[in-house]
Structure 1
Amino acid sequence: MRYLRKLYDWVLYWAETPYGAAVLFILAFAESSFFPIPPDALLIALVLGSQKKAFKFALICTVGSISGAVLGYLIGHYLWWTPNNEFSSLATFFFSNFPGFTQEIFFRVQELYNQYNFWIVFTAGFTPLPYKVFTVSAGAFNVNFP
């Protein structure tokens, strides 16, 4: 319970400073690529503190989230593939040390990603699963990035 109180105090602190919007961007960026804490609480606090700026805060959060998703894609791509388009040492480690996770299964899932890439990434935003899982895996599966 103490953790929630600290988080609550932290959100209120930043919501009351002039840097609240910048922190919202950073939090949204980090959350969509690697950080596990969502920006929703800070967004709500900022909007409640200044309802006239609600759309501005929503836009800041959206741009931060999209930018972070791009970083997540790049993380997935560059941690999984070498510049020669071969599997990286991390990918090889996964294939060697995780039973049932083979290159054949990887390519099968990659085929599904290529077939349904828009729908996978789009619907991922509406599931309780962390969105970063889908953006990082989209990079690992070399999904076309427009």
Structure 2
Amino acid sequence: MKLFKPLYERALRWAKHPHAERYLGGLSFVEAIIFPVAPEIMLAPMVLSQPRRWARYASVSLLGSMLGAFVGYALGHYAFDLLRPLLAQIGWLPRLDALVSELGAEVRSHPWNAFWMLVAAGFVPVPLKIFTWASGIVGMPLLPFIGGMLIGRGKRVYLLAGVIRLGGERAERALHRWIEWIGWALVLLIVALIAWLRLVK
């Protein structure tokens, strides 16, 4: 059964839409607050379709993520207690409480320790939105928050877009050929990771 190849081909078509940049910025914005789908699902095919605009697309995604991060920070800072039941219902609360405890200790120790946590956040299996909310809840100072978010998310989108740009058409052909295998391998990896996390608890 082919699942990922049709989705990938559809994403390539969306990437060529006249308003694709707006959609990418909007997806990046909402993902930093609550949406579960990472903006890379749209960023990657957009760079594949127009490789010379890789830096522009990465910048659009980063700008949307930064604006969304400020909203997530504000919601965490001002509305966390009101939203606790909703966060518990969607399954965020345990991870959020654990991160708040860790981030709060780092902020109390030194605000720039929390900065390094945000820098690392781009490549850890914790959604960006969890970090933005947690930063607002503990009242992390804005300067290290902004710096950490810029570097943490920026290195992820620019690295992805840059690698795809360097690969060019050869990367697109290889991805098109192997996308089904890659997709199912990622599904198996995620299932294995979830199973392992449950076993070590």
Common fold: TM-score over 0.5: yes
Q: C-alpha separation between the residues in 2 aligned to 1:50 and 1:107?
A: 40
Q: Does 1:117 align with 2:109?
A: no
What's the CA shift for 1:48? 1.0
Residue 47 of structure 1 is matched in structure 2 by 47
Q: Which residue of 2 aligns with 1:143?
A: 140
Conserved in 2, the CA contact under 8 Å of 1:113 and 1:120? no
CA distance in structure 2 between the aligned counterparts of 1:70 and 1:40, rounded to whole angstroms? 20
The AA in structure 2 aligned to 1:144 is P
Change (3 A) 1:33 1:90: closer
* 8 A contact 1:11–1:42 mirrored in 2: yes
Partner Cα separation in structure 1 for residue 41 and residue 24 of structure 2: 10
The secondary structure found in structure 1 opposite 2:47 is: helix
Identity of aligned residues (%): 30
Structure 1 residues 3 and 34: CA distance shift in structure 2, 3 A: farther
Residues 108-117 or 28-37, more deviating:
108-117
Counterpart position of 2:129? 132
Q: What TM-score do you get using the length of structure 2 for normalisation?
A: 0.55
Q: In the aligned structure 2, how far is the partner of 1:38 from the partner of 1:90?
A: 23
**Partners of 1:13 and 1:53 in 2: CA distance:** 17
Q: RMSD between aligned alpha carbons?
A: 2.9
1:125 offset after TM fit, Å? 1.8
4+ aligned runs moved over 6 Å, structure 1: none
Compute the displacement of 1:113 (Å). Answer: 3.4
Q: How many residues align?
A: 130
| Bigger helix share | 2
Aligned equivalent of 2:150: none
Q: CA deviation at 1:36?
A: 0.5
